[in-house]
DNA sequence: GCCCGAAGCTAATGCGCATTAGTCGAGGGA
DNA sequence: TCCCTCGACTAATGCGCATTAGCTTCGGGC
């Protein structure tokens, strides 16, 4: 049998024991010197110097595996996104979040482990143990709305440090960070109202994700402020559209204008369907924005429309969201519990909103 | 003294010992069962099943640090980029490469650890030991030209499996994979030449990175094929520009045209500066592409110009590059050494090149 | 002269796992 | 009956490091 088995790496990398031998001290002393002697044990300066010299001479570098084993934590944070592969496109909305995650993790001295639905171990989407692999890390961030509840619940129940990116109230005990869509959406409506708009319609997708309901909530809240509680309950103030949004036609837009609507607000979704449809319908109807009507987008435009005129609306601080998630996770790791879960979105003036045309009563 | 053992246990993360207790066997047996029992020790099928069940119930996942310490491998591949892997500036993104890495790693049963080198304000920016963290993984991929040589050299000297993405000849013994810029650039020139162009200028950055010199090499090689070796040495065939490329002005372009140049080739760089400048100068000069002159890009256009007409040139198969890097790394891990380091780039016809205008010879 | 405490070390232990030597009982052959 | 093998496990050990509980000296204080 080859005595060293699979380790082809081992070739002469010195251990503390060898440094110790060269310096004429014990391994403990080497560890003490190189580890900064945080426990304040008395060490003679000469000894320190000898150890340092020996370490340098041998080119000693600590083995991170051993270090982490002894420290009982491996300084790894997991990032789990339940998409088939890791979000491929740079334009994908997860990407900017990862930017923030990476920066904050680096700043805190953690490395990242990436998990996806397609991670190894045969852990495909259906596998009831797919989420367990994240336990390899000290804690994990979860992205996306389709993370399986039961598995996540078990992790949380076991006391595994986890943070979900995106509001996730229904899962008891799961920490999360999310953008403050309620406040941001309300703010957009207030601005429109400030410009003189009195009838505003929200175009949202037919999906009851928190991101959608929060926006509607904020929308209706602000509506109530200037038009009273009745307006907030008005069913016609909100339109649910399907994907693709075939129902948003030029005719539909014109009908709404005829009813006195002067502004449309769309929610941002992964596909950008609502905004895209609204945009197309308005253009096809030959209407001018913002002269004939105002538009606002509750979020950022899809990448392919980014070059067009910037929509009035708000920006989701995705990088900041990622950073906040990391902070919350590391707070959990060090015992502290609660950090602020909501991240504010900045209002974006844009140029798709203006005063309503004339007095159309 | 605060009990630390139990407090850690409570924080999730079951050990083999706990699985053993639940299954009513020894830790050794658990290790045997979960490790695939490569030593062929007799194990009763019932025992095996009980252990597996217990492990699943507890959500056991092996600790990579311990695994690596004991067995010298843990099925983790590192990815180290000395700039952020997810950069804020999207135009110079390693992301597509990472996608290929991710997929191939998953296919081979490895998890990925992202070692973030320096980050703005990062804890360990400039730390001379920053690279040692990668030793936690079985092997590591390196991205970017700014990986500190000395540290990398030490890793390689220790026999640590490493693969650099991007040509890296000067560091003896370091394996690498890279795009075949030489062949791809030559091909582009051949196409232009086939269209009738006889005088072509390469606009490159003033940076002697392999990616730049390879392109120039390919460019000159192809030049020699149709215009003889003298042309290949012609200093005026290649222009080095600075960043920003202030020297590429409309006037400069017109002067070149007056000299008989009919096509310009730009190299792709992180910033896309050369291409951007060329584009802008041609537009400002009121020249039409490809009627008045042809343009080609040795690579892909920056993201913000992606929506414009596709440039004639070649595509760097970034995902494939990542996959190839993983293959080379795992080959190293299993003892085989050499895999093909060069990945071919596909020619992209685009629409910025056409026949030269008239006979201006 | 004896005890005490500080200075300056080192032996021993354990982190979680893989691996190597056993151990133990149930047959089987002689 | 005794020994030996074989099947099915377990005790013990070590990976490289950090940490903790000891050891020695040596110099005062009384």
Q: What's the pLDDT tens digit per position in B290-312? A: 999 999 999 988 777 777 789 99
The interface residues of chain B toward chain A in range 49-88, judged by CB-CB distance below 8 A, are 56, 59-66, 68-69, 71-76, 84-88
Partner residue facing A65 (CB), from B65, B114, B120: B65
Of the pLDDT bands very low, low, confident and very high (cuts 50, 70, 90), residue B360 is very low
Quick one: average pLDDT of B142-151?
82
Determine the pLDDT at residue A287. 95
Architecture of the structural domain at B76-180+319-343: 3-Layer(aba) Sandwich (3.40)
pLDDT at B340 over 50: yes
pLDDT tens-place string over residues A185-205: 999 999 999 999 999 999 998
Gap from A215 CA to D12 C1', Å: 62
What is the C-alpha end-to-end distance of chain A, expressed in Å?
92
Residues 6+ apart with CB under 8 A from A117: A81, A82, A83, A84, A85, A123, A124, A125, A130
**Assigned token pair, A300:** 């950022």
Determine the pLDDT at residue A11. 55
Residues 6+ apart with CB under 8 A from B265: B185, B188, B189, B192, B200, B201, B202, B203, B219, B295, B296, B297, B298
Burial B28-66 (b: 16+ CB within 10 A, else e): ebbbbbbeeeeeeeeeeeebbebbbebbeebbbbbbbbb
**Assigned token pair, A200:** 């505003």
Determine the pLDDT at residue B10. 45
Quick one: average pLDDT of B108-118?
86
Q: Which residues of A touch B103 (CB under 8 A)?
A: 85, 118
> Strand pairing of A346-348 and A200-205?
unpaired
The class level of CATH for A76-179+320-343 reads alpha beta
pLDDT tens-place string over residues A13-60: 899 999 999 999 999 999 999 998 998 899 999 999 999 999 999 999
Quick one: average pLDDT of B48-55?
96
Interchain pair A154, B85: CB under 8 A: no
Interchain pair B105, A95: CB under 8 A: no
d(CA A161, CA A333): 7
The interface residues of chain A toward chain B in range 98-117, judged by CB-CB distance below 8 A, are 98-99, 101-103, 105-109, 111-116
The CATH code of domain B181-316 reads 3.40.50.2300
Specify the DSSP element, H or E, that contains B266: strand B263-267
Determine the pLDDT at residue B120. 44
d(CA B151, CA B157): 10
Determine the pLDDT at residue B11. 54
Of the pLDDT bands very low, low, confident and very high (cuts 50, 70, 90), residue A123 is very low
Quick one: average pLDDT of B60-82?
92
Q: What residues pair up with A143 in beta bridges, in sequence order?
A: A81, A165
**Distances A339 to A20, A25, A308, B125, B168 between C-alpha atoms, Å:** 45, 46, 37, 27, 45
Nearest CA in chain A to B139: A9
Distance of CA A88 to the CA centre of its chain: 16
Count of helices and strands (H, E) across chain A = 11, 12
**Assigned token pair, A329:** 């996770």
Whether the CB-CB separation of B203 and B219 falls below 8 Å is answered with no
Residues B4-61: name the CATH superfamily: lambda repressor-like DNA-binding domains (1.10.260.40)
The domains of chain A are located at: 16-71, 76-179+320-343, 181-316
Lowest mean pLDDT among A87-91, A179-183, B2-6, B109-113: B2-6
d(CA A342, CA A321): 9
Determine the pLDDT at residue A99. 87
Q: Which residues of A touch B111 (CB under 8 A)?
A: 113-115, 119-120, 133, 136
The CATH code of domain A16-71 reads 1.10.260.40
Judged by a CB distance cut-off of 8 A, whether residue B89 touches chain A is: no
Does B4-61 match B181-316 in CATH topology? Answer: no
């Amino acid at each position: 049998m080859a005595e060293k088995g699979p380790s082809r790496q081992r070739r002469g990398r010195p251990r503390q024991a060898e440094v110790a031998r060269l310096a004429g001290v014990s391994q403990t002393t080497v560890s003490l010197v190189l580890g900064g002697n945080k426990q304040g044990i008395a060490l003679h300066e000469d000894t320190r110097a000898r150890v340092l010299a020996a370490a340098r001479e041998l080119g000693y570098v600590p083995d991170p595996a051993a270090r982490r084993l002894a420290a009982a934590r491996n300084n790894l944070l997991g990032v789990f996104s339940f998409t088939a592969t890791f979000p491929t496109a740079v334009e994908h909305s997860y990407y900017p979040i990862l930017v923030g995650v990476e920066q904050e993790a680096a700043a805190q001295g953690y490395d990242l482990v990436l998990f996806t639905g397609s991670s190894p171990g045969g852990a495909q989407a259906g596998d009831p143990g797919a989420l367990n692999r994240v336990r390899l890390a000290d804690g994990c961030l979860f992205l996306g709305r389709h993370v399986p509840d039961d598995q996540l619940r078990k992790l949380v129940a076991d006391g595994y440090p986890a943070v979900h990116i995106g509001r996730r109230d229904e899962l008891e005990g799961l920490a999360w960070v999310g953008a403050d869509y309620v406040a941001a959406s309300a703010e957009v409506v207030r601005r429109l109202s400030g410009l003189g708009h009195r009838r505003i319609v929200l175009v949202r997708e037919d999906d009851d994700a928190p991101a959608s309901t929060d926006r509607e909530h904020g929308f209706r809240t602000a509506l109530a402020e200037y038009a009273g509680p009745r307006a907030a309950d008005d069913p016609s103030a909100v339109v649910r559209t399907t994907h693709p949004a075939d129902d948003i036609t030029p005719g539909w837009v014109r009908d709404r204008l005829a009813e006195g609507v002067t502004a449309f607000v769309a929610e941002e979704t992964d596909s950008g369907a609502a905004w895209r449809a609204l945009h197309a319908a308005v253009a096809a109807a030959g209407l001018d924005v913002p002269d004939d009507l105002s538009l606002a987008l509750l979020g950022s435009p899809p990448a392919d429309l980014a070059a067009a005129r910037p929509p009035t609306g708000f920006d989701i601080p995705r990088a900041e969201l990622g950073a906040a998630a990391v902070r919350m996770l590391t707070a959990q790791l060090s015992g502290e519990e609660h950090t602020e879960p909501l991240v504010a979105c900045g209002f974006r003036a844009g140029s798709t909103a203006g005063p309503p045309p004339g007095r159309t009563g």
